[in-house]
Amino acid sequence: MKALVADDDSDLRALIAFTLTQGGFEVRSAENGETALRLFEIEPPSLLLLDLNMPAIDGLQVCREVRRQSNVPIMVLTVRDREDDLIAAFESGADDYVRKPFSPRTLLARARALVRRAEPVHAPRIEAGNATLDLERHTFRLGESRETHLTPLELKAMQLLVSSAGRTVTAERMLMHVWNRSTARERRTLKQLIYRLRMKLELDPASPEILQTTPGAGYKLNVDVSGE
């Protein structure tokens, strides 16, 4: 597994690199966003860890640029923990969000879990009704609509929703499937994840027909519509 770590704090960058190396990753480091993008182009990693507060090209900009061309798992690292910061990170395409300071053991466990979640499991394709989820290509298609490209986090959520098509998936089950934990942070993140998916899938995200909410319970994927 290859990891690219971008952080302008040299001491923290070295600690993260050491932690990941001890955990079996091959690590490359960047001191700023520009270097991170250059290294990403040269040798795409299995995991990207980004500090949000880098000067010039910050972590959010790097995240958006990488997400335009790749489905690589992205973990953002930041001292900020406001709701707006969390939303901005996930809207930029991040898959996980770790607040500084953090323990090396926790960081390594989250990194490994993120890489595992990004790996397609079981069959390469799941079909239900008019829906097709391609786990290898990270795409979703409903009926004759265009293919929708998904991030690793979105793919993980859709894997559960397509497998349970037409039935309500509780929020708790989604949390455990996607993150294997159910804290207040993951609950907030789940709402943002659903919002992102609706922006990609729905003609009118404010009145969803495909990814529906079951009040007080969870979410349901309607695969009997034609799509766009």
CATH number where 84 lies: 3.40.50.2300
pLDDT digits (tens, 9 = 90+) for 146-176: 889 998 889 989 999 999 999 999 999 999 8
Question: Is there a contact between 161 and 211 (Cβ–Cβ < 8 Å)?
Answer: yes
Both 59 and 129 in one domain: the answer is no
User: Which residue ranges in the chain fall short of pLDDT 50?
Assistant: none
Question: Is there a contact between 178 and 95 (Cβ–Cβ < 8 Å)?
Answer: no
Both 19 and 96 in one domain: the answer is yes
Both 141 and 187 in one domain: the answer is yes
Question: Taking the CB of residue 217, how many other CB atoms lie within 10 A of it?
Answer: 12
Distance between terminal CA atoms of the chain?
A: 38
Q: Which residues contact 149 (CB under 8 A, 6 or more apart)?
A: 71, 138, 139
pTM for the full predicted model = 0.66
Both 168 and 197 in one domain: the answer is yes
Determine the Cα–Cα distance for residues 10 and 15; give it in Å rounded to an integer.
Answer: 9
pLDDT digits (tens, 9 = 90+) for 24-55: 999 999 999 999 999 999 999 999 999 988 88
Expressed as residue numbers, the domain containing 51 is 2-118
The continuous run of DSSP H or E covering 175 comes out as helix 171-178
